[in-house]
Amino acid sequence: MTIEAERPKQPRAVRRDARRNRELLVSAAREAFAAQGLNAPLDEIARRAGVGNATLYRHFPTRADLVEEVFHGALADTVTAGDAARGGEDAWRALAGYLAAVFASLAADRGTNDLMTTGISGVRSLDAVHARNRETLDLLIGRAQRQGTMRQDVTTEDLLFSLAALGRAVPALTDTAPQAWRRYLTLFLDGLRTADTPATALPAPGLTTEELADVLSSLGPHRTQAAPLHGDNGQAPGSVHGP
């Protein structure tokens, strides 16, 4: 056997190392985004992964590229939940179940919350998810109104705006009372129902005076929006989207 044949195949080793570094970066980013939201510092993500900033930018030239890699599975799950809701015969029940599933993901992960409740650009699959979500809400609202379970003057924009506003409060609620968001989502949805529809039993206790103070403290003063996704010096996110 020649000396050349005994040498390790460097290109294959490099590919393995690159793949491993990419996996470490995605795992570190998932943890950081879940805990801190999409404005988690990129240098902290690189440090968690045990690599340098240059390695991070080699794999993910923009923050948007990293966000896309981390969240494309969650975005696909949202579409799947919406498609399942479209098949429900009872439009109101389907809508309530769909939104409960979406809000559960907002409560579990601050990065998902940022992604679904703020207008950000550069995440390729997000625009498609928002468009699909809007179609789902259009369909379910129209069907519920025809079935007589939702008031006739509710629009899709009403729902998208209100859901985005409530969604932004979910992390603060979750830190103080983990299931409280279920109560406030139920109260909001009941306000959209027709007058002759029975009220829904509230699924969680109300906040105490102390808990409310904690939530309000977490909500303000206004926090900085999620960091721009085209690198840390790019343009700020744009318009608000509902979950």
Structure tokens at 20: 């491993």
With vertex at residue 80, the alpha carbon angle to CA 180 and CA 96, rounded to the nearest 5 degrees, is 35
Q: Kindly give, in sequence order, each residue whose CB lies less than 8 Å from that of residue 192, ignoring residues fewer than 6 positions away.
A: 150, 151, 154, 158, 159
Q: Kindly give, in sequence order, each residue whose CB lies less than 8 Å from that of residue 100, ignoring residues fewer than 6 positions away.
A: 182, 185
Q: What is the spatial distance between Cα 128 and Cα 130, in angstroms, rounded to a whole number?
A: 5
Residue 116's φ and ψ, nearest 5 degrees, are -90, -15
Burial class for 183, CB neighbours closer than 10 Å (0-12, 13-18, 19+): middle
The pLDDT score that the predictor gives to residue 239 is: 39
Q: Where are the domains of the chain?
A: 9-60, 62-243
Q: What is the spatial distance between Cα 31 and Cα 37, in angstroms, rounded to a whole number?
A: 10
Burial 128-163 (b: 16+ CB within 10 A, else e): ebbebbbebbebbbebbbeeebbeeebebeebbebb
Domain range 62-243, CATH architecture: Orthogonal Bundle (1.10)
The pLDDT score that the predictor gives to residue 224 is: 47
pLDDT tens for the 243 residues of the chain, in order: 444 445 555 556 558 888 899 999 999 999 999 888 888 999 999 999 999 999 999 999 988 899 989 988 888 888 899 999 999 999 999 999 999 999 999 998 888 888 888 767 778 778 888 889 999 999 999 999 999 999 999 999 999 999 999 999 999 999 999 999 999 999 999 999 998 888 899 999 999 999 999 999 988 664 544 445 545 543 333 334 566
The pLDDT score that the predictor gives to residue 235 is: 36
The pLDDT score that the predictor gives to residue 242 is: 63
**Sign of torsion, CA 190 164 69 48?**
negative
CATH class name, domain 9-60? mainly alpha
Residues in the chain: 243
Helix (H, G, I), strand (E, B) or coil at 222: coil
Q: What is the spatial distance between Cα 159 and Cα 165, in angstroms, rounded to a whole number?
A: 10
The answer to whether residues 111 and 70 touch, using CB atoms and an 8 Å cutoff, is: yes
Helix (H, G, I), strand (E, B) or coil at 150: strand
The pLDDT score that the predictor gives to residue 49 is: 94
DSSP state at residue 195: T
